[in-house]
Amino acid sequence: MTTQITILAAEELNPLVPHWSEIIVGTIAFILLFLVLRRTAFPQFERIYAERTDKIEGGLKRAEEAQEHAQALKQQYEDQLAGLRAEAARIRDDARAEGQQIKAELRAEAEAEAARIRQRGEEQISAAREQAVRELRGEIGGLSVQLAERIVGESLADPARRSATVDSFLAELDQLAPRREQATPAGGAS
Amino acid sequence: MTILATAPSPGFDAPGVEDFNLPPIFGDVTKPVLQFVLAAVLVWAFFTITARRPQLVPGKAQFLGESFHGIVRNAIARDNIGHDYLKYVPYLTTLFAFILVNNLFGIIPLIQFPSFSHPGMAYALAAMSWLIYNAIGIRKHGFGGYLRVSTWPAGVPWWVRIILTPIEFLSNIILRPVTLSLRLFGNMFAGHLLLLVFILGGEYMLLHSESLVVNLLSPFAFAMGIVFTFFEAFIQVVQAYVFTILTASYIGTVLADDH
């Protein structure tokens, strides 16, 4: 009797024997959980993973593009800068050449002016000397006649003789100072 | 159990199988039945809360959910299944979370009973995984092709096949669900028994022993009980992981073109 009950109890207590209620309820709970999560939560996670990946990769690509753009801009600016530098140098050279030219022109002009002034001065000087010579000659003629009248005491009324005397005198003078040949007759300038 | 109760033996009754045979709460509803439902609700709530309005930069809750999902997705599914793994991630994630929560019930205060120390649901989940990987294999290779992939390894001499093919058939088709379920059940069963031994033993030493020395030694039993509780926590996580990763590995094996 007791052994029979013990055997019954042992059979009942076999831990490998499942409870059917647990299998049924547990399986339903698990499958429901699986179906619900497959529709709701898990797609959300997958969506956000994909979005994140896209964002990161897209960001990297955009950064690359921005860098390329910046590189191009830099190149452009450098080219422009080089052009500007060359132009500035050219302008400077032009200005220097022009300055040189202006200086040369001014110098030439000044030299010409100076030459003109000198020439005019020389002309004036020579004119003044001529005039002086002319005046001197007339005066000397008169003075000589007076002196000769006084010395000789005779009237030199005869114009022909007087003239010949004066001319010979003057010729003598010219020989003493042969600067310029003088053929002008004294006339009655005294 | 009734016999044991009516005839109390002197001295300590070591906990045994009878301690797992809890009286039903009502009708056929046992404690694990409620725990399975509770676990399903908890897992549902966890993923529903953490996946609500997901942001590119995750908050704490979303990070938690993503980490859990990501472990199963990347470390278990992708590494074991390879190409086309995404299709199986929902099943594997649900499996891992469901087993994990039910295992952890074993050390959560006031529940303190691992659901899988009753084997029923372990059988059910193993059967489900078995059906799934066989169905995948048959759909991919056809029935004959699948049998050949599973039992006819390439490059083996004919006289080896005489032994090898039955073994392969047995291990790949018959025994996989058995080991899968019994491994989970056995670990949970033994772990719970271990904790019972230390806690009930400590209680007996403290309250029912007539020897003062034994009374004073009882804290060591409780301390060991706490140590083994941590150990159990580890085992429970590992077993949930093992069940999931083996399922993933079986799926990966039958999907592989040459075995």
Taking chain B (259 residues) in consecutive chunks of 10 residues, what is each chunk's mean pLDDT?
46 83 85 94 95 88 93 94 92 96 94 93 96 94 90 86 91 94 96 93 88 88 94 96 96 79
Average pLDDT for residues A37-62, to the nearest whole number? 91
Task: State the nearest Cα–Cα gap between A59 and chain B, in angstroms.
Answer: 13
Q: What is the DSSP string of B43-62?
A: HHHHHHHHTSS--SS--HHH
In this model, does residue A26 exceed pLDDT 50?
yes
Range name among A24-33, A81-90, B2-11, B19-28 with the lowest pLDDT average = B2-11
Q: Residue B120: which of A26, A44, A55 has the nearest Cβ?
A: A26
CA of A70, closest CA in chain B: separation in Å?
A: 29
Q: What is chain A's mean pLDDT, rounded?
A: 83
Contact B3 A5 (CB under 8 A): yes
Looking at residue B240, what is its pLDDT?
97
- Quick one: angle between helices A41-152 and B60-70, nearest 10? 110
More confident position, B14 or A79: A79
Best CA proximity match to A49, nearest among B8, B145, B55: B55
Across the interface, whether the CB atoms of B56 and A46 are under 8 A apart is answered no
Nearest-CA distance B73 → chain A (Å): 10
Question: By CB neighbour count within 10 A (0-12 exposed, 13-18 middle, 19+ buried), where does B120 fall?
Answer: buried
Question: In the prediction, which pLDDT does A8 show?
Answer: 47
Q: Which pLDDT score, from 0 to 100, does residue A177 have?
A: 65
Coil, helix or strand for B167?
Answer: helix
In angstroms, how far is CA A118 from the centroid of its own chain? 41
Closest-CA residue of A relative to B50 is A41
- Choose the closest CB to B3 out of A9, A41, A45: A9
In chain B, residues with a C-beta closer than 8 Å to the C-beta of A21 are 27-30, 33
CA gap B41, A33 in Å, rounded: 8
Model confidence at A77, pLDDT cuts 50, 70, 90, reads very high
**What confidence score (pLDDT) does residue B25 get?**
85
Query: Are the beta carbons of B66 and A29 separated by less than 8 Å?
Result: no
Give the integer Cα–Cα distance in Å for B102 and A125. Answer: 138
Q: Choose from A5, A23, A38, A40 for mutation: most chain B CBs within 10 A.
A: A23
**Helix-then-strand count for chain B, H and E:** 10, 0
B37 to A29: CB separation less than 8 angstroms, yes or no: yes
Q: Given this model, what pLDDT does residue A169 score?
A: 75
Strand pairing partners for B29? Answer: B26
- The pLDDT value given to residue B70: 94
- The answer to whether B28 contacts A21, with C-beta atoms less than 8 Å apart, is yes
CB contact (8 A) between residue A26 and residue B124? yes
A182: pLDDT confidence band, cut at 50, 70 and 90? very low
pLDDT value, residue A157 = 60
> Nearest CA of chain B to the CA of A2: how many Å?
9
- Predicted confidence (pLDDT) at residue A69 exceeds the cutoff of 60: yes
Question: What residues does B26 pair with on adjacent strands?
Answer: B29
Q: What is the pLDDT of residue A106?
A: 95
SS3 B26: strand
- pLDDT at residue A156, rounded to an integer: 58
For residue B46, the model assigns a pLDDT of 96
pLDDT band at A187; cut points 50, 70, 90: very low
In degrees and rounded to multiples of 5, residue B121 shows phi and psi of: -70, -30
Nearest-CB residue to A52 (from B1, B43, B56): B56
pLDDT recorded at residue B133: 95
Average pLDDT (A157-169) is 73
What secondary structure letter does DSSP report for A153?
-
- In this predicted structure, what is the pLDDT of residue B56? 85
Question: B213 phi and psi, to 5 degrees?
Answer: -60, -45
